[in-house]
């Protein structure tokens, strides 16, 4: 066979499931390993500082071209490239299109694919369905935070926004804190709430109590872990889900992979602010411009705005990698309240995608496709 021949592996969603993409415990371990590699610098993402979330293409509010889509909720295309070293030693890119109107066709809001590439030649190694992969790596990152920060005897979880992100975040919570007994659910629609409750009943029969609550306050009060996973329009932070300090019991961990708002006095003086990768939030501040929180509604982005204003010192925001590598303590004080921001990064997709790809090779899963036997234009 010619050395110029390039084959790659195509993995459908069914193939990905067979290759172990739903192994949440393994995904949490993989994310933890990834964060340690990131802390020593053995990774790259896009942007001038190598930490960009990705490159997003949006459509105009109006267009003279009849075939060009116009702007709408979650209507965008996005490219998210990354390289991760260590045992992964892999480059790749997640690409997706997103449109909230997809739901009317019983399709996911976003449809995602991941390409893995040879780091030297750029040749494709795998092209895989990435909706489940992306959902599980998104949930696993909060899981790493729960593993280190949540009370060992945590019993009560409050969920605000019972969607896919909450399902995978809850899977990660259960993977590292199996003693959870009570789940409180705050949602906007009865169908989504019941779907989430039924999911818990089917997947986690050890959970003794499921409570549907009417307010964020009731979801927060008495909870050891609070998962804030609502989809929220950006632009006006006053519209983001709000949590008052008086509702919070000592030692609570907040998982914030989506919009959330806390009082500045609490953030500045009493909360412990932790990021999954502080350089990601610095990149958002640079790319979006101040105030970046109006564009990206995650709490750590607001911390970057507060640093810009001179109200918060950078040392008041801890980076997860520093904790995992022992540079700073897991807990700075007893019963601290932690706001853990989760931004989502393509390096996570490359990490978990590489594990699934290698599992597929080992198990003979997927369809081998040929790019060329020899390039016609070399």
pLDDT at 353: 98
Residues 325 and 355 reside in one and the same domain: no
Could you tell me if residue 86 is inside a domain? yes
Residues 277 and 164 reside in one and the same domain: yes
Of the chain, the percentage scoring pLDDT greater than 70 comes to 99
Residues 272 and 367 reside in one and the same domain: no
pLDDT at 234: 85
Mean pLDDT, residues 32-61 taken together: 96
Strands 76-84 and 90-98: antiparallel
Asked if the model's pLDDT at residue 130 lies above 50, the reply is yes
Residues 96 and 235 reside in one and the same domain: no
pLDDT at 378: 86
Residues 220 and 325 reside in one and the same domain: yes
Mean pLDDT, residues 363-375 taken together: 97
pLDDT at 317: 98
Mean pLDDT of the chain: 96
pLDDT at 12: 98
Give the domain range for residue 251. Answer: 140-345
pLDDT at 370: 98
Could you tell me if residue 151 is inside a domain? yes
Mean pLDDT, residues 147-171 taken together: 97
pLDDT at 108: 93
**In the chain, beta strands by DSSP E:** 6-11, 43-45, 55-58, 76-84, 90-98, 110-117, 124-129, 156-160, 182-186, 209-212, 225-228, 242-243, 253-256, 261-262, 272-275, 317-319, 338-341, 367-372
pLDDT at 3: 87
Residues 126 and 171 reside in one and the same domain: no
Residues 98 and 176 reside in one and the same domain: no
Residues 237 and 330 reside in one and the same domain: yes
Mean pLDDT, residues 236-246 taken together: 96
Could you tell me if residue 223 is inside a domain? yes
Helices and strands: H and E segment counts in the chain: 11, 18
Per-residue pLDDT reduced to its tens digit, 65-120: 999 999 998 899 999 999 999 999 999 999 999 999 998 999 999 999 999 999 99
Q: What is the band of 2 on the pLDDT scale with cuts at 50, 70, 90?
A: low
Query: Helix 164-176 vs helix 24-39: angle between axes, to the nearest 10 degrees?
Result: 90
pLDDT at 1: 46
Could you tell me if residue 198 is inside a domain? yes
CATH number for position 11: 3.30.1780.10
Could you tell me if residue 1 is inside a domain? no
CB-based contact 253:149 (threshold 8 Å): yes
Place of tokens 């021949």: 5
Q: Is the dihedral of CA 147, 151, 157, 162 positive or negative?
A: negative
Residues 367 and 329 reside in one and the same domain: no
Count up the domains in the chain and report the number. 2
Of the chain, the percentage scoring pLDDT greater than 90 comes to 96
Residues 103 and 69 reside in one and the same domain: yes
Q: What is the band of 232 on the pLDDT scale with cuts at 50, 70, 90?
A: confident
257: left (phi over 0), alpha (psi -120 to 50) or beta: alpha
Residues 68 and 168 reside in one and the same domain: no
**In b/e form, how buried is each residue of 119-139, taking b as 16+ CB within 10 angstroms?**
beeeebbbbbbbbbbbbbbbb
Residues 109 and 236 reside in one and the same domain: no
Per-residue pLDDT reduced to its tens digit, 334-350: 999 999 999 999 999 99
Could you tell me if residue 377 is inside a domain? no
Mean pLDDT, residues 130-146 taken together: 98
Q: Is the dihedral of CA 360, 365, 366, 367 positive or negative?
A: positive
CATH number for position 278: 3.40.50.720
Please report, for residues 89, 164, 194, the alpha-carbon distance to residue 11 in angstroms, rounded to integers and kept in the order given: 20, 22, 32
Asked if the model's pLDDT at residue 29 lies above 60, the reply is yes
Mean pLDDT, residues 140-155 taken together: 98
Entry pTM: 0.95
Could you tell me if residue 210 is inside a domain? yes
Could you tell me if residue 378 is inside a domain? no
Place of tokens 């449809």: 111
Mean pLDDT, residues 254-259 taken together: 96
């Amino acid at each position: 066979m010619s050395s110029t021949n390039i084959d790659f592996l195509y993995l459908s969603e069914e193939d990905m499931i067979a290759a172990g993409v739903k192994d949440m415990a393994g995904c949490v371990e993989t994310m933890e390993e990834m964060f340690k590699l990131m802390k020593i610098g053995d990774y790259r993402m896009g942007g001038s500082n190598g930490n960009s979330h990705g490159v997003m293409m949006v459509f105009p509010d109006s267009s003279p071209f009849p075939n060009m889509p116009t702007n709408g909720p979650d209507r965008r295309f996005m490219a998210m490239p990354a390289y991760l070293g260590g045992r992964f030693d892999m480059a790749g890119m997640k690409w997706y299109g997103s449109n909230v109107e997809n739901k009317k066709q019983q399709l996911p809001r976003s449809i995602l694919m991941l390409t893995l590439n040879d780091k030297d030649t750029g040749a494709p190694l795998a092209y895989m369905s990435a909706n489940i992969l992306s959902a599980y790596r998104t949930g696993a990152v909060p899981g790493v935070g729960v593993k280190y920060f949540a009370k060992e005897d945590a019993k009560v979880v409050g969920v605000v926004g019972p969607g896919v992100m909450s399902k995978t975040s809850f899977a990660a919570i259960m993977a590292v804190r199996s003693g959870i007994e009570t789940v409180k659910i705050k949602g906007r629609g009865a169908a989504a709430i019941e779907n989430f409750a039924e999911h818990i009943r089917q997947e986690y029969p050890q959970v003794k109590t499921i409570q549907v609550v009417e307010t964020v306050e009731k979801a927060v009060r008495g909870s050891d872990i609070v998962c804030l996973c609502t989809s929220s329009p950006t632009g006006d932070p006053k519209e983001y889900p709000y949590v008052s300090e008086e509702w919070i019991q000592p030692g609570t961990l907040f998982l914030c992979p989506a919009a959330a708002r806390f009082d500045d006095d609490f953030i500045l003086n009493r909360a412990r602010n932790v990021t999954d990768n502080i350089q990601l939030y610095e990149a958002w501040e640079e790319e979006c411009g101040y105030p970046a929180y109006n564009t990206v509604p995650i709490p750590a982005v607001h911390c970057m705005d507060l640093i810009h204003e001179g109200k918060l010192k950078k040392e008041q925001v801890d980076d997860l990698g520093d904790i995992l590598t022992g540079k700073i303590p897991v807990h700075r004080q007893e019963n601290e309240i932690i706001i853990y921001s989760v931004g989502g990064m393509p390096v996570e997709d490359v990490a978990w995608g590489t594990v699934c790809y290698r599992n597929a090779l080992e198990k003979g899963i997927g369809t081998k496709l040929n790019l060329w036997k020899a390039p016609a234009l070399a």
